Amino acid sequence: MHELVASHITFAYASGPPILVDVNAQVACGKLLALVGPNGAGKSTLLRVMCGLMRPQRGKVEFDGASLFSLSSLERARRVAFLPQAVNPTFSLSVFEVVCLGRYPHVGALRTMRQKDHDVVLRCLQETRCDALRARDFSELSGGERQRVLIAAILAQEPDILLLDEPTSLLDLHHQIEVFSLLKRLTREGYGVAVVTHDLNTAARFCDHMLLLSSSVHGVKAEGTPSEVLQESILSEVYETEVKVCPHPITGTPLVTVLDAERYP
Amino acid sequence: MTSRITLGRIALLVLISAGIVLVSLWIGAESLRWEQIQAEWRSGKPITQCPALSILINQRIPRTLAALLAGGTLALVGCAFQALLRNPLATPYTLGVAGAGAFGAFAATVLMEGAAARIGIVGISGVQLAAFLCALLDMAAIYAMAARHPRMSPAVLLLTGVTLGMLANAGILFLRYLAKPNMLVVMDRWLMGGVDVIGYRDIKTLAVGTIPCALVLLLQAAKLDQIGFDVELAAGRGINVRRLQAVTFIVGSLATAIVVSTVGPIGFVGLIVPHSVRALTGSRHRLLMPISLFAGGVFLCMCDIIARKTFVGETPIGIITALFGGPFFLYLLTKRRFVDWEG
Ligand SMILES: Nc1ncnc2c1ncn2[C@@H]1O[C@H](COP(=O)(O)OP(=O)(O)OP(=O)(O)O)[C@@H](O)[C@H]1O
Ligand SMILES: [Mg+2]
């Protein structure tokens, strides 16, 4: 049972104001964590700190009790994988090649792919239902297909923990649900997943735990199960709009809607 | 994907290349005959009394080697810089190294009025030395600019390089204006580049300078795949992006500076060759870089053969690479899609 724990994180970009102050977060295997909050709340920043891309000024990030920064960068990448908010490739690569790139932490700079690496790549393509795409040019895929391929690529790192920054922001309803179902399935298989999203309702349906970040407190405004976090008073304050929450008629999870105050006072 | 088709094509490329290199040894202002070479070789006379053998050994072989080394290096650095700057249209000269080198060569020529070509240390002429130093200066300026930014941003590198290149060009124009008419011919000849006046001393400089650089760049292939795909993703996979950018930039510029100072600013090789090879091998640098290195050398060799055999006698090779490379590149542009222009 692996876990990635960030405790008392304080972070500011070079000579900028503090973005995160004394933030705690935890991603455990078998659990799906959602990071939500308004634009600029520091969600991406927290994710980058948690995967060891940036050192916090204060606080520590630990994987199974050992500091993430005590691991070599390749060891780190074999435990924690990170999918950034936007990925823009320079050259055209096939889907298969894109997923092969994910093997880097295992293959290294000088070795070539072995049979085992190939097997992993094929398994990750299957897992994300991308087999049919394997010969396609990555840049010619639709947004949803790209996202699935990118998830396959970070699965190829064979990490324990996945940190994904807005993997569904460009996707239609169907593909959003598909990606979240995939993430849910992965947590059942034993991965620990943290996902940044602006889609509160889908997050409420799928995630086990939720962190609501806000720039007003430089960190976590509310934390808990989706129904504990998604409350009218909290959301109205953080998003600075009138927010209504009612139970979803079918799933019973919180359903968040925004009413404009002029027409529905 | 290394499919069998690609391997077949690679085998074909190797055969054609071997042919081109052989032709390059044989063809020139004076075509050599195999029987004559054999006869002279068997006669055991000193080489000064064997006209054909001496042309082969003192002209054709060094000239061919120079084309192979210079062309290969330029193509390899082209691959590396395209990934580093995340721009498929980057070249070894994008960062202004060629312009700065030419300015150095011009300055030395004007200031020392031809004496610079003769004086020199350890077999490197004053003009070469000045070209090399100015190219290094260009690199240092760009590096200092880029290092001020938290991440060595491709956009900053690119803009600084292009600006320095324009400055160098203005300097060159100014020097041309100052120069005496008889110097202009020498200077312009330098700008067009050439592998025709190469002797073994220059080959040694080229080889000692470029081969280690090429090895270092080849070792970065897997990492260049990663930053070419996405910088943040690469960092997440455990690549030290800043170090990779610094190594690629410094070693690539050094290799370019060495080439420019020995054979002049020969254009287009670093752009056309990586693109054409990419169409053959795909974008994985493990395959792309070694094959570009090889193909770049052979391409320049071929251009040199054409340069020797044009109807006006010897044509400067820089003109040939541009005349043949330009249209070919335009053709490629219509055929191939570019994923991301801005990077
Ligand atoms: N590289 C950077 N340098 C300086 N400041 C930055 C940098 N990246 C982000 N910031 C600032 O840090 C704050 C938090 O940014 P962050 O990207 O973490 O927000 P976010 O919650 O991911 O927002 P979004 O929902 O828009 O993606 C913002 O005010 C932003 O301007
Ligand atoms: Mg973000």
DSSP state letters, A74-136: HHHHHHEEEE-S----SS--BHHHHHHHTTHHHHTTT----HHHHHHHHHHHHHTT-GGGTTS
Cβ contact B238–A82 (<8 Å): no
Kindly tell me the sign of the dihedral angle through the C-alpha atoms of B260, B265, B266, B267. positive
pLDDT at B315: 82
CA distance B61 to chain A (A): 34
pTM score: 0.91
pLDDT at B116: 53
Cβ contact B229–A87 (<8 Å): yes
Which phi and psi (to 5°) does residue A214 adopt? -145, 140
Instruction: For each of the domains in chain A, give its residue range(s) and CATH number, in order of start.
Output: 1-79+159-230 (3.40.50.300), 90-158 (no CATH)
Q: What is the mean pLDDT of chain A?
A: 93
Q: What's the maximum distance between 2 C-alpha atoms anywhere in chain A? A: 65
Residue of chain A with shortest Cα separation from B79: A91
pLDDT band at A216; cut points 50, 70, 90: very high
More confident call, B48 vs B77: B77
CATH superfamily of B2-333: ABC transporter involved in vitamin B12 uptake, BtuC (1.10.3470.10)
Cβ partners under 8 Å of residue A192, min gap 6 = A2, A3, A4, A27, A28, A29, A30, A31, A33, A160, A161, A162
pLDDT at B1: 44
Burial B117-136 (b: 16+ CB within 10 A, else e): beeeeeebbbbbbbbbbbbb
CA of A189 to the centre of ligand 2 (A): 27
Mutation for B interface: A13, A91, A166, most B CBs within 10 A: A91
Which phi and psi (to 5°) does residue A193 adopt? -130, 130
Mutation for B interface: A50, A90, A166, most B CBs within 10 A: A90
Helix residue spans in chain B (DSSP H): 4-26, 34-43, 51-55, 61-84, 97-112, 115-118, 126-147, 154-178, 181-192, 200-219, 221-229, 231-236, 241-263, 269-281, 285-309, 317-335
Spatial distance between the Cα atoms of A79 and A96, rounded to a whole number of angstroms: 22
Q: A13 CB less than 6 Å from ligand 1?
A: yes
pLDDT at B341: 42
pLDDT reading at B85 higher than 60 = yes
Cβ contact A73–B340 (<8 Å): no
Which phi and psi (to 5°) does residue B234 adopt? -60, -45
Q: A197 CB less than 6 Å from ligand 1?
A: no
Q: Find the CB nearest A93 among B87, B220, B229.
A: B229
Q: What percent of chain B has pLDDT over 90?
A: 36
Q: Find the CB nearest A73 among B225, B232, B240.
A: B240
Q: Structural domain boundaries of chain B?
A: 2-333
* Residue-by-residue DSSP string for B77-127: HHHHHHHHTT-TT--TTTTSHHHHHHHHHHHHHHHHTTHHHH-EETTEEHH
Q: Find the CB nearest B339 among A83, A84, A91.
A: A91
Cβ partners under 8 Å of residue A73, min gap 6 = A52, B238, B239, B240
Cβ contact B233–A14 (<8 Å): no
Strands A32-36, A209-214: pairing is: parallel
Q: What is the mean pLDDT of chain B?
A: 85
Cβ contact B236–A51 (<8 Å): yes
pLDDT reading at B38 higher than 90 = no
Pocket test for ligand 1, best of A9, A10, A13 (most atoms within 8 A of CB): A13
**B161: nearest Cα among B216, B91, B230, B229:** B91
Cβ contact A101–B219 (<8 Å): no
Atom 4 of ligand 1: nearest residue by CA position = A13
Beta carbons of A89 and B228 less than 8 angstroms apart: yes
**B221: nearest Cα among B233, B204, B239, B236:** B239
